[in-house]
Amino acid sequence: MEAITESERDAVYKTIYSRRDTRGEFKSDPIPDEVLLRILDAAHHAPSVGFMQPWDFIVVKSPEVKKKIKAGFEIAHQEAAEMFPKEKQEQYKSFKLEGIVEAPVGICVTCDRSRTGSTVIGRTANPEMDLYSAVCAVQNLWLAARAENLGVGWMSIIHHDLLKEILGIPEKIVPIAYLNVGFVSHFHEQPELEKKGWLPRQALSSLLHWDQWQTEQVEKP
Amino acid sequence: MEAITESERDAVYKTIYSRRDTRGEFKSDPIPDEVLLRILDAAHHAPSVGFMQPWDFIVVKSPEVKKKIKAGFEIAHQEAAEMFPKEKQEQYKSFKLEGIVEAPVGICVTCDRSRTGSTVIGRTANPEMDLYSAVCAVQNLWLAARAENLGVGWMSIIHHDLLKEILGIPEKIVPIAYLNVGFVSHFHEQPELEKKGWLPRQALSSLLHWDQWQTEQVEKP
């Protein structure tokens, strides 16, 4: 199999560093079908435990379905606001945290835990591995989308039981992510929560350990 | 922020499609420090819920530590073999499933669930979101490594309590992945479990649903 060249490597890093969680910058322009299929196929080529490929993808374009998901967000968002300390609640409420209705496409990524039977290579000691495979599919999709100059936002503020009801997802299937996807007016230079002072970017050096966990590094800002 | 060009996009797809789970092809050549730091920094630029950056990275180069991890694998691997139906056990045992000792570097990716306090933006309705963020870091690292022509194998056949003991990981920190990383003799054209007939690649079309879960597609091979 062909080696990756330096300029190809640099393109991968450019994509990784310029990927953002998009909420407020979606344009309504439709995503061409061939582009949508390319990012879904990239997701399908994520690593999966025991080659299980446990994922499914529900592509949402219907305004009615989006409206129901938005209502589900509103419920969980209201509950969430009350969970923050009083002094943080106003700032939390000021953030735009989703683009459910504005984004032309929603993609729900799910995990079918029994897809290939009960015993799966690599999932024997760690049963969560199939869920993690589906998350790898999300990240493949996200980077492929960025490479197509599409923004993606992971909208996790909804109760999954309600999401399953809205999308008709069977009982045994686990929702992993609901993603808003679309072209954008621009990508932010920095993650928004960093720019707005919610949390700082940690220094990489503070996250590295060598051969053993370094206890003095457990404390984080 | 600059747009991704078509050739850059193609480089991202080339990297996604040629990424493999490496077990048997590791070369002992050391990974230059600057390359190792680049793939770790790519991991650190994964999306994280509420900009939590819950990950840490334990870089393992010590042969003694690797030997202990290999012994941990042997225990879980033996247990796993007995979990498969009798007719599958021999094939399971014939697979090489890790390169713990051969790979020059191991990287344990962990999740500190209380890093930024108990209430996290986006983790309120779905508490697993921080674990999923750490998985996104694994996938960023994996693709960055492939772009550096490094192989990565996710070695999930070990009990995490033992892994924590070996690496001195504190009680409250959750191991997400133990990765073997190194240059390789070659990358396989296809995933090995596909090539060896363990499971087929599913058709993307069988995994797609439109606005609602399509029940006729629930049945998989």
pLDDT score at B209: 98
Residues of A in contact with B44 (CB under 8 A): 202, 204, 207
Count CB pairs under 8 A between chains A and B: 311
pLDDT score at B172: 97
Find where tokens 């419920």 sit: A75
The complex's ipTM works out to 0.97
For residue range B147-170, what is the model confidence (pLDDT) as tens digits? Answer: 999 999 999 999 999 999 999 999
Q: Are B107 and B57 in contact (CB under 8 A)?
A: yes
pLDDT score at A215: 78
Min Cα–Cα distance to chain A from B122, Å: 5
pLDDT score at A193: 96
The three-state secondary structure class of B83 is: coil
Q: How close are the terminal C-alpha atoms of chain B, in Å?
A: 44
For residue range A184-210, what is the model confidence (pLDDT) as tens digits? Answer: 999 999 999 999 999 999 999 999 999
Q: Which of A1, A122, A201 sits opposite B157 (nearest CB)?
A: A122
CATH 3.40.109.10 fits A21-115+125-184, yes or no: yes
User: Which are the contacts of B5, defined by CB distance < 8 A and separation ≥ 6?
Assistant: none
Q: What percent of chain B has pLDDT over 70?
A: 97
Q: In angstroms, rounded to a whole number, what is the distance separating the alpha carbons of residues A143 and B144?
A: 11
Please check the confidence at residue B77 and state whether its pLDDT lies above 90: yes
Q: In angstroms, rounded to a whole number, what is the distance separating the alpha carbons of residues A4 and A144?
A: 17
Residues of A in contact with B198 (CB under 8 A): 50-51, 121
Q: Which of B42, B92, B210 sits opposite A16 (nearest CB)?
A: B42
Work out the pLDDT band at B216, boundaries 50, 70, 90.
Answer: low
Q: How is domain B21-117+128-185 classified at the architecture level of CATH?
A: 3-Layer(aba) Sandwich (3.40)
Phi/psi of residue B200, nearest 5 degrees: -85, 160
Please check the confidence at residue B132 and state whether its pLDDT lies above 60: yes
* A207 contacts B57? CB cut-off 8 A: yes
DSSP state letter for B26: B
For residue range B22-53, what is the model confidence (pLDDT) as tens digits? Answer: 999 999 999 999 999 999 999 999 999 999 99
Task: Give how far Cα A104 sits from Cα of A66, A167, A180, B213, Å.
Answer: 10, 17, 8, 19
* A83 contacts B213? CB cut-off 8 A: no
List helix spans (H) across B22-115: 33-44, 63-81, 86-94
pLDDT score at B2: 85
The overall average pLDDT reported for chain B is 96
Q: What percent of chain B has pLDDT over 90?
A: 96
Residue segments in chain A with a per-residue pLDDT below the cut of 50? 218-221
